[in-house]
Amino acid sequence: MSKLELVIFDCDGVLVDSEIIVNRVFAETLTEAGFAITYEEASQKFVGLSFATCLEKIEQIFGRTVPPEWLKLCKEREIAALRQELQATAGIDDVLKELSLPKCVASNSSPRHIHLVLGLTGLLDRFNGKLYSCHHVDRPKPFPDVYLHAASQMGYAPENCVVIEDSVTGVKAGHAAGMRVLGYAPSDRHFSHHEALIEAGAKLVFEDMRELPSLLKI
């Protein structure tokens, strides 16, 4: 097995507990606009996908275009809710302090969103600007582009990187990049699926972020 040299973290759902907030706002604003969808459906269908991909899927499901004014309203409500409710994933700050390996973030979210949520939770300084978005590459996850871009920018070969992911979409991206992937699936998330993460390419799945330092030594 190749030497582990770089840890690449997904952002939403791994570093911060944002997905429950974002999916709730997404479902509520869509339903108000006449695109009826529940929070549970949004969580199952859209976790890990880029915002653009989510919109494409919504328009495919309903056979019509989401109005431009909805985009603005959704983003405004999402930011307001994040500012009021967002918390870091339990234990992640201590993990990042303890971690001696180089680390970075690679996310399907926009650079603005990544900076916002990491700033709100006090995690931004832990990464020293090493933040990579699907907006920096041609294709979002499940394609491997953003993970390959992050590894290249950090100066490490893909086979020497490990990815920490909570979604099937993200696991597929890390696996396609030729990296080892650890799936994060806390038991309190109804949309977390251990078997699905393993099938997507995760080497193992863990439930408590505080387990990560010891897992990286295996």
pLDDT per residue over 87-130, tens digit each? 999 999 999 999 999 999 999 999 999 999 999 999 999 999 99
What average pLDDT does range 169-182 have in this prediction? 97
122 and 158 share one domain: yes
Q: Are 12 and 22 in contact (CB under 8 A)?
A: yes
Of 85, 112, 143, which one is at a domain's C-terminal end?
A: 85
1 within a domain of the structure (yes/no): no
Does residue 50 share a domain with residue 142? Answer: no
pLDDT tens digits along 72-90: 899 999 999 999 999 999 9
In this prediction, residue 93 carries a pLDDT of: 96
Q: Which domain holds residue 173?
A: 6-17+87-215
For residue 191, is it within any domain?
yes
Return the CATH number at 101.
3.40.50.1000
The interaxial angle of helices 111-120 and 68-85, nearest 10 deg, is 20
User: In angstroms, what is the C-alpha Rg of the chain?
Assistant: 17
125 & 71 share domain: no
> Both 29 and 13 in a single domain?
no
Mean pLDDT of the chain: 92
pLDDT band at 210 (very low <50, low <70, confident <90, very high): very high
Phi, psi of 17 (to 5 degrees): -90, 65
Residues 60, 154 within the same domain: no
Residue 1 has pLDDT above 90, yes or no: no
Together in a domain, 113 and 79? no
Return the amino acid letter for 180.
R
DSSP for residue 120: H
Which residues, 6 or more positions from 162, have their beta carbon under 8 angstroms from its beta carbon? 4, 6, 7, 8, 179, 180, 181, 182, 216
- 47 confidence band (pLDDT: 50, 70, 90): confident
Q: 0.85 exceeded by the pTM?
A: yes
Question: Is the separation of the CB atoms in 206 and 212 below 8 Å?
Answer: yes
